[in-house]
Structure 1
Amino acid sequence: MRDYPLVGGPVEIRGALDLEATPAGVMPRRLPAWTKEQYQDPSVFGGTVMPSGVRLVFRTDARVLEFVVLTSTGQLDGDPEPRPTGMLDLRVDGALVGRQRAPLGHVLRMAGPGAAQRLIPGEPGTARFDALPAGMKNVELWLPQQTPTELVALRADGEVLAPLPDGRPRWVHHGSSISHCLEADGPTGTWPVVAASLGGAEVTNLSQPGNDMLDPYVARTIRDLPADLISLETGVNIVARNGFRLRTFGPAVHGFLDTIRDGHPDTPLLVVSPVSCPALDGCPGPTAVGRDGRITALGDPAEVALGALSLQVVRDELARIVTARRARDPHLHYLDGRELLGPAEVEDLPDGLHPSAAAYRRMGERFAAHAFADRGPFRGRP
């Protein structure tokens, strides 16, 4: 087995916009380093180091690969085990050939949500994939979407070379936890990755669980990225956190889109409204989690008439904004999120908000069928 560098060598780390040096190796982050000073909520940092859509890409003739990683997961006091570390998915020439649970590393213990954390240090662990197909092949190692993962080492029993350009369109997506997909069965089971695989695109997923709040630093990040396709799933965090009123929501959407258009004036841009969520469809936030583990809305439905936001108000406003802007922006498109997961499928929301693993895959298939269809918004690229 031979060691290959993870930075400055043949391996490409895609889906990450920053590689933060750590004592063990490098930590991929899904937002640029300059954005850190603008985070209002510490949970934004936690979301950026959860590597949804981050993968190592290279070519190799090796039959055996070893990846050394150091994960960080949490554990509530009283829970018998730490939270699952998630899966490492190995694709060869586009096909999933191996899936292993990521090794347990650091554990952050806490008395409850939001409580102070106590670090129980861990050690790097190795995931080994053997009996790989003979000959030169394209390899992708996808990191667990829900677990911060430091990259420590890559070993192979053959040559490792840089990937060749393949001409696939570069798709940049931003959304909420519904697009981050913590509940997916693995990193290649998130709906953006499923859709990208079916549509033949290279996806960068900038989604922020709990923090899709139309933050200007995200819009500037998208503006400055190379992108052939762009999509934005927005609304559920804004309603759940009671982040805007109707008066301020519309201008914030316009400002977010204007910033993206400063860098991508003609790129296909698809705005996706929230999927079904019975608690919030007709009621404003904020939200809480009940004793049954399901989301409940604490807002007053009567406040909607006074400018409070429900998911239906958000859907109507996004559709109105896109329709109005299309008169001068024909590459802007709208998709009602209920076409990805609708009212008849709320049984696929185990906590009343987040889809199941099977539902995420179905959402990816439906998104691809819409966006990448012959007349879909992502097929009419200028």
Structure 2
Amino acid sequence: MHTDDLTTTPLTAELLRGALDVERTERGLLPHRLPAWARAQNTDGQVAMVESQPSGVRLAVRTRATVLELDVLPTKRVYVGAPPLPDGVYELLVDGRPADRATAAGGNTLTVDMAAGTFEHRPGPAATLRFAGLAAGDKDVEIWLPHNETTELVALRADAPVEPAPDLGRRVWLHHGSSISHGSDAAGPTGTWPAVAAALSGVDLVNVGLGGSALLDPFVARALRDAPADVISLKIGINLVNADLMRLRAFTPAVHGFLDTIREGHPATPLLVVSPILCPMHEDTPGPTVPDMAAIGEGRLRFTAGGDPSERALGKLTLGVIRDELARIVAQRSADDPHLHYLDGRGLYGEADEKELPLPDGLHPDAATHRRMGERFAELAFGPGSAFAT
């Protein structure tokens, strides 16, 4: 069957799950994980890049089609001096089960110079993904977009009518965190630890994990406040150390303010604060986190701590300091907020895990660790007696 034999279905926001906003571009639809008003308050190129990478966003349709084609315009990232990144992965699920995977060649190119803090954009051509051989009959089909590659949806074609997937009445889990939550180094979009946890727990994921950008920004707090959610989790800490953004004096009121804002829109929603997973280089050494230029010279991407442990006395943040303070803040607030909970991130990835599955670049978990973290979060956050237990 050729493309000419397929019928085009208009791309609309109703066909998407997991996005907080959808922008109509000259080419098609661009999913966003922050609303337009929040993007307008941002001046950081890193935030702009990562919020447009559709981690957790999927095309969700009901159809009898045996062939689907999706035209996409990806944006590939190139880091100056670093090894090339693999193409983003699109994963096809049929009735909740993995059915196919694909990548898209071509597309735009975004060149990032981490040392200079610059971003250069070069346009490129769209690509066509083809999923054929699907079983006949009505079925729910999801195409999970690459978690780490900005993707404009240009056209959707099929050999049978396509309509939005039905609402199954699942609880909506709204999650915010760093690049680890975003899915850095996961094998694909359904392999990020939040996607694994959501699948195991039977919830609909809205992932606002923002690589390098979980920095307690007020516009992010307001976006979470306004987003529909049945349960909410916040993974706070590592990016504040990475960026060496603030001292303890600023951190404590910033966390309170972030929680206060979310509570304006979700006064009684179960809210779980998750501290950082183990990251040996920053347990007792402050940031900033800097690229290991020696490793890059050898063709490997690796990071190292640029701070001095003695600077903790000046209020610089380490992961140990952040865990202690988050636990204290949640204990203080939970006296008046019984729906507020705390989870030590080392329960997801701790010392024993680090010995077995060390962080390849010193900062991000690999694909196997993402799966382990997702399985543990499903148990610790959604299991019996936990914060999100039904």
TM-score, normalised to structure 2, is 0.92
Asked whether the 8 Å contact 1:103–1:127 carries over to 2, the reply is no
Change (3 A) 1:348 1:232: same
Q: Aligned residue for 1:362? A: 372
User: Equivalent residues in 2 for 1:302-321 (5 A)?
Assistant: 302-321=310-329
Partner amino acid for 1:28? P
Asked whether the 8 Å contact 1:284–1:303 carries over to 2, the reply is yes
Deviations 1:25-61 (A, max 9, x none): 1211110000122214221100111110111111001
- Report how far residue 152 of structure 1 moved: 0.4
1:37 pairs with 20, 26, 40, which one?
40
Q: Aligned residue for 2:3? A: none
Q: Aligned residue for 1:101? A: 103
Q: Aligned residue for 1:64? A: 67
- Report how far residue 263 of structure 1 moved: 0.9
- Report how far residue 210 of structure 1 moved: 0.7
RMSD: 1.8
Report SS of the residue matched to 1:238.
helix
**Residues paired across the two proteins, number:** 377
Change (3 A) 1:119 1:32: closer
Report SS of the residue matched to 1:44.
helix
CA distance in structure 2 between the partners assigned to 1:112 and 1:272 by the alignment: 28
User: Equivalent residues in 2 for 1:49-60 (5 A)?
Assistant: 49-60=52-63
- Report how far residue 277 of structure 1 moved: 0.6
Partner amino acid for 1:7? T
Asked whether the 8 Å contact 2:184–2:365 carries over to 1, the reply is no
1:334 pairs with 342, 345, 361, which one?
342
Q: Aligned residue for 2:25? A: 22
Asked whether the 8 Å contact 1:26–1:152 carries over to 2, the reply is yes
Change (3 A) 1:110 1:360: closer
2:241 pairs with 239, 242, 252, which one?
239
Deviations 1:198-256 (A, max 9, x none): 00100101111111111111111111111100000010010111112111111111110
Asked whether the 8 Å contact 1:102–1:144 carries over to 2, the reply is no
CA distance in structure 1 between the partners assigned to 2:302 and 2:248 by the alignment: 26
- Report how far residue 78 of structure 1 moved: 7.6
Q: Does residue 1:325 correspond to 2:333, yes or no? A: yes
Asked whether the 8 Å contact 1:279–1:295 carries over to 2, the reply is no
Change (3 A) 1:115 1:369: closer
Structure 1 residue runs of 4+, over 6 Å off? Answer: none
- Report how far residue 84 of structure 1 moved: 2.3
Partner amino acid for 2:31? P
Report SS of the residue matched to 2:221.
helix
CA distance in structure 2 between the partners assigned to 1:110 and 1:246 by the alignment: 30
CA distance in structure 2 between the partners assigned to 1:279 and 1:268 by the alignment: 32
Change (3 A) 1:47 1:78: closer
Q: Aligned residue for 2:298? A: none
Deviations 1:306-338 (A, max 9, x none): 321110000010011111111111111111111
Deviations 1:60-95 (A, max 9, x none): 01011111101111335688x953221000111111
Change (3 A) 1:107 1:159: same
Structure 2 residue runs without a partner (length 5+): 1-5, 296-300
Structure 1 residue runs without a partner (length 5+): none
Asked whether the 8 Å contact 1:89–1:143 carries over to 2, the reply is yes
CA distance in structure 1 between the partners assigned to 2:372 and 2:112 by the alignment: 35
CA distance in structure 2 between the partners assigned to 1:225 and 1:198 by the alignment: 23
Asked whether the 8 Å contact 1:195–1:368 carries over to 2, the reply is yes
Change (3 A) 1:78 1:316: closer
Change (3 A) 1:119 1:299: closer
CA distance in structure 1 between the partners assigned to 2:319 and 2:184 by the alignment: 21
CA distance in structure 2 between the partners assigned to 1:78 and 1:273 by the alignment: 32
Change (3 A) 1:175 1:112: closer
Q: Aligned residue for 2:259? A: 257
Identity %: 53
- Report how far residue 344 of structure 1 moved: 2.4
CA distance in structure 1 between the partners assigned to 2:245 and 2:78 by the alignment: 29
Asked whether the 8 Å contact 1:75–1:82 carries over to 2, the reply is yes
Indicate the larger mover: 20-29 or 125-134. 20-29
Partner amino acid for 1:151? L
Q: Aligned residue for 1:134? A: 136
Change (3 A) 1:237 1:135: same
Deviations 1:262-317 (A, max 9, x none): 11111110110000111100111112121224322121211212321110000010
Change (3 A) 1:40 1:162: closer
Q: Aligned residue for 1:350? A: 360
Partner amino acid for 1:2? T
CA distance in structure 2 between the partners assigned to 1:115 and 1:269 by the alignment: 34
Report SS of the residue matched to 2:125.
coil
CA distance in structure 2 between the partners assigned to 1:76 and 1:251 by the alignment: 35
User: Equivalent residues in 2 for 1:116-131 (5 A)?
Assistant: 119-131=121-133
Asked whether the 8 Å contact 1:82–1:107 carries over to 2, the reply is no
Q: Aligned residue for 1:6? A: 11
